[in-house]
């Protein structure tokens, strides 16, 4: 006696479901990684804007800067701009600006080292 097979057996459906779930898990992981990377790039870009803004403020003030820490708000993100006036390799004054996230100050997001003499 021959049976006509129309449709899938239960084991075939379960195997197909397992394959689809593995593929969806991989897609979700790649989306999460891409989102995390975009967030990190956004934070670095905003931190660089903070450093550039502080550089312009100091340049326009025209006075030698003191070591300081300044809060910088960019949208929903808050950063700290750390400034230090030291000497470079050629014994010329050099301004160093370092930007960190306010909630994670151990990781520098942007850093600028510029000679102070060119600002005057």
Cα(114)–Cα(96) distance, integer angstroms: 6
Domain boundaries, the chain: 10-119
What is the C-alpha end-to-end distance of the chain, expressed in Å? 99
Count of helix runs (H) and strand runs (E) in the chain: 1, 4
pLDDT, tens digit (0-9, with 9 covering 90-100), for 71-116: 999 988 999 999 999 887 778 888 999 999 998 889 899 999 988 8
Do the beta carbons of residue 72 and residue 57 sit within 8 Å? Answer: no
Tell me whether residue 67 is exposed, middle or buried, using C-beta atoms within 10 angstroms of its C-beta: 0 to 12, 13 to 18, 19 or more: exposed
pLDDT tens per residue across span 22-72: 999 999 999 999 988 999 999 999 999 999 999 999 889 888 788 999 999
Q: What does CATH list as the number for 10-119?
A: 3.30.1300.30
């Amino acid at each position: 006696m021959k049976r006509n097979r129309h449709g899938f057996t239960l084991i075939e459906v379960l195997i197909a479901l397992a394959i689809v779930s593995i593929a969806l898990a991989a897609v979700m992981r790649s989306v999460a990684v891409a989102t995390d990377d975009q967030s990190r790039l956004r934070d670095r870009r905003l931190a660089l804007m903070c450093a550039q803004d502080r550089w312009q403020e100091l340049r326009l003030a025209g006075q030698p800067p003191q070591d300081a820490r300044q809060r910088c708000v960019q949208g929903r993100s808050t950063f700290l701009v750390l400034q230090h006036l030291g000497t470079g390799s050629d014994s010329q004054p050099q301004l160093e600006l370092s930007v960190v996230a306010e909630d994670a100050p151990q990781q520098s997001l942007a850093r600028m080292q510029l000679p102070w003499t060119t600002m005057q």
